[in-house]
Amino acid sequence: MVQTQKEIQPPSADAPPEIGAIAAALRSGDIRTCARLISRVERGEPGLVPLLQALYRVGGRSRIVGVTGSPGVGKSTLVSKLIGFWRKRGLRIAVLAVDPSSPFSGGAVLGDRLRMREHTCDEGVFIRSMASRGQLGGLAKAAGDALTVLDAMRWDVILIETVGVGQNETDIMRHASVVVLLQTPMGGDDVQAAKAGITEIGDIFVVNKSEHPEADRTVSQLEEMITLGLCLHPETTWRPPVVKTRAINGEGVAELADHIDDCFAHLAGQPEAARRQLRERAKHRVGELLHYMLEQRLRSDSGQLLEDSIDAVMKRDSDPYALAAELLARMD
Amino acid sequence: MVQTQKEIQPPSADAPPEIGAIAAALRSGDIRTCARLISRVERGEPGLVPLLQALYRVGGRSRIVGVTGSPGVGKSTLVSKLIGFWRKRGLRIAVLAVDPSSPFSGGAVLGDRLRMREHTCDEGVFIRSMASRGQLGGLAKAAGDALTVLDAMRWDVILIETVGVGQNETDIMRHASVVVLLQTPMGGDDVQAAKAGITEIGDIFVVNKSEHPEADRTVSQLEEMITLGLCLHPETTWRPPVVKTRAINGEGVAELADHIDDCFAHLAGQPEAARRQLRERAKHRVGELLHYMLEQRLRSDSGQLLEDSIDAVMKRDSDPYALAAELLARMD
């Protein structure tokens, strides 16, 4: 299914007809083609690889911004206001909202989509929710594929919205050049920000629901963490600002948008550091794809051996280490 | 490093001296040996596999209970009270607290450990925090190894505490037979419980900080979700109860402990369903180990090729799909 590098070309007269047609439709901004392709990506269609390769090779021009934070902090509302702000300036915006994976139901709740309804009739806005289909590693892989599709469309801004803490979410946030980390002033005791574990990936901190009496205290705590160097980004010497917002009525959104611009300007002023970041990101993406391919292969080749041998593991006559080693040996 | 199945035996006179000595120390309840071994597991020492295999084969007798929920809901306080409750009944308790992985710092915050200080002089209690060392998939693998160690010690209860949402956390929760899902009454709007995405893995729901005026409304919402079948566990016909607690002063903790007992009794009454669960859990563990082994191999074999080829990907002369396929081909 995966073709070698030489066989793949950016869309051209020689490319398979599907690739050329889809790439052309995407470049003309066709939202239906985009939506349909992301659905195919979500289903994990293996035949899509040549198309995704071609799309990757024409991408790299959109600004990718991540917005993350725990459930209930107001991410979707803030994203909706950011869209409104940027639309007034004529920017075209795509949103990829990645719901936490539910390994048992695979279901996504449509709340986010409902909250963004005001933008659904605007051709300059594309909003898409993704949910895990329960595949280990599948969500991050599919999200990366979806970003490849969006990136090839050259949206001015691609917003990735993910829910808070977790390896999957931080993995997805690695695709973003600038990450906005949202919290509310009601986050419990002082160590919560640090405990959330994703503080280090935030380029801009937002304290939403700024009308709350604890808002200023939360801002101070974050400023203190930054001063202590806990959130500094030494590779780019960027000092994360802390912004108060009240997403529900749009307060602070213009300021946040300015900080996002500043962060991109800062990156542009440090080409070597920016290059290192891109390099790490590309390596991460390769690793993610390799992981996925290995898993697909395992499923097809070793499923029966796993079924046949698992009873011995359960009876403790064997063990998971022995069986994993056997499966690995079988793959060679 | 990995030995074949036949060469491995449960600790006996024939086993390598280290394996026999460590296994004997663990079985006598030696906490220092346990702590040291988990540190080695965390460092990912490859030579530990034969020992872990031997330990796995003598395990399977501890009750493994998961406690999960977002930061700040009061997990550590509740766990501390549960320990106190069970200790009074003479049970030996181990706690494995898994902090969210921080891909940039790898750091763990010691708040949880501090909060559990009251139990640290009790030989019938073992408390251990783990944090990711930044390895993709490494945390879940190391947590599984640590559980293998604890399980071989035959603690009456092993509590796994993880922070909320995320694939890593839900993966770790799969090791538990009974999962307690904590939330607070302050969780924002109505869809938050569903959005958290881990509702389906909860066997028992706890609404902590029950003194809050919204507590009863949160309980009703959860009861409603359960009645609607959103949280039913059809394979075991278990209906998750909803318990109100106030962990800070121990209110509701006895009731929670009763529900945990009930859930184990329910499982015991459904041997076929319990067996299916164990089977899925064992398969998941094998997959996790295989993943880890593949990654180790990739790091050692393909690191240079990745370094050499990533620039072409960054320049978009190549793409991550092509490079991943090349790395995969190289592995064969």
Convert the pLDDT of each residue in B139-157 to its tens digit: 778 899 999 999 999 999 9
Q: Span A123-138, mean pLDDT?
A: 70
Choose between A73 and B63: higher pLDDT.
B63
Q: What percent of chain B has pLDDT over 70?
A: 76
Residue A276 has pLDDT above 50, yes or no: yes
Note whether A198 contacts B290, CB cutoff 8 Å.
no
A124 pLDDT above the threshold of 50:
yes
User: How far apart, in whole angstroms, are the C-alpha atoms of residue B142 and residue B38?
Assistant: 9
Is the predicted pLDDT of residue B133 greater than 70, yes or no? no
pLDDT at A306: 82
Mean pLDDT for chain A overall: 79
> Mean of the pLDDT values across residues B243-269?
95
Between A202 and B302, name the one with better pLDDT.
A202
User: Would the CB atoms of A166 and B171 count as touching at under 8 Å?
Assistant: no
- Give contacts of B174 with chain A, Cβ < 8 Å: 103
Q: Among B46-60, B241-255, B283-297, where is mean pLDDT lowest? A: B283-297
Confidence grade of residue B90 (pLDDT, cut at 50, 70, 90):
very high
Average pLDDT over residues A255-280: 93
Alpha-carbon A238 to chain mean position: 21
Tell me which chain A residues have a C-beta less than 8 angstroms from the C-beta of B298: 287, 290
Query: Which residues of chain A are within 8 Å of residue B195 when distances are taken between CB atoms?
Result: 71, 99-100, 109, 111, 163
CB contact under 8 A, B314 and A171: no
Higher pLDDT, A229 or B161: B161
Cα A60 to Cα B233: distance, rounded to the nearest angstrom: 45
| pLDDT (average), residues A320-332 | 84
Residues 6+ apart with CB under 8 A from A42: A130, A133, A142, A146
Among A41, A62, A68, which Cα is nearest to A144's? A41
Instruction: Please tell me the distance in Å from A102's CA to the nearest CA on chain B.
Output: 5
The predicted pLDDT at position B194 comes to 44
pLDDT given at position A7 = 37
> Which of chain A's residues have a Cβ under 8 Å away from the Cβ of B294?
291, 294, 328
Residue-averaged pLDDT of chain B: 79
Asked whether the beta carbons of residue B166 and residue A171 sit closer than 8 angstroms, the reply is no
Mean pLDDT of A270-278: 89
Note the pLDDT of residue A189: 47
Per-residue pLDDT band at A114 (split at 50, 70, 90): very low
ipTM over 0.90: no
β-strand partners of A123 = none
What does the pLDDT read at residue B246? 95
Amino acid in position B67: V
Q: Residue A115 has what pLDDT?
A: 47
Give the distance from residue A107's alpha carbon to the nearest chain B alpha carbon, in angstroms: 8
pLDDT at residue B34 is higher than 90: yes
Judging contacts by C-beta atoms under 8 Å, the chain A residues touching residue B170 are 101, 103
Q: What predicted TM-score, i.e. pTM, was given to this entire model?
A: 0.66
Give backbone dihedrals phi and psi of B297, rounded to 5 degrees, phi first: -65, -40
- The verdict on a CB contact (< 8 Å) between B101 and A286 is no
Whether residue B112 has pLDDT greater than 50: no
Asked if B275 contacts B304 with a C-beta cutoff of 8 angstroms, the reply is no
Give yes or no for a contact between A169 and B166, defined as CB atoms under 8 angstroms apart.
yes
pLDDT digits (tens, 9 = 90+) for B156-211: 999 998 876 555 667 788 899 999 988 888 655 443 444 444 566 789 999 998 89
In the prediction, which pLDDT does A261 show? Answer: 97
The larger pLDDT score, comparing residue A185 to residue A143, is at: A143
Rg, Å, chain B Cα set: 22
In whole angstroms, what is the distance from residue B58 CA to residue B10 CA?
Answer: 7
CB contact under 8 A, A328 and B71: no
Cβ atoms of residues A175 and A147 within 8 Å: yes
pLDDT category of residue B10 using cuts at 50, 70 and 90: very low
Out of A101, A324, A327, name the one closest to residue B197 (CB): A101
**For residue B229, what pLDDT band results from cuts at 50, 70 and 90?**
low
The mean pLDDT value for B245-271 works out to: 95
Interface A–B counts its CB contacts (< 8 A) at: 271
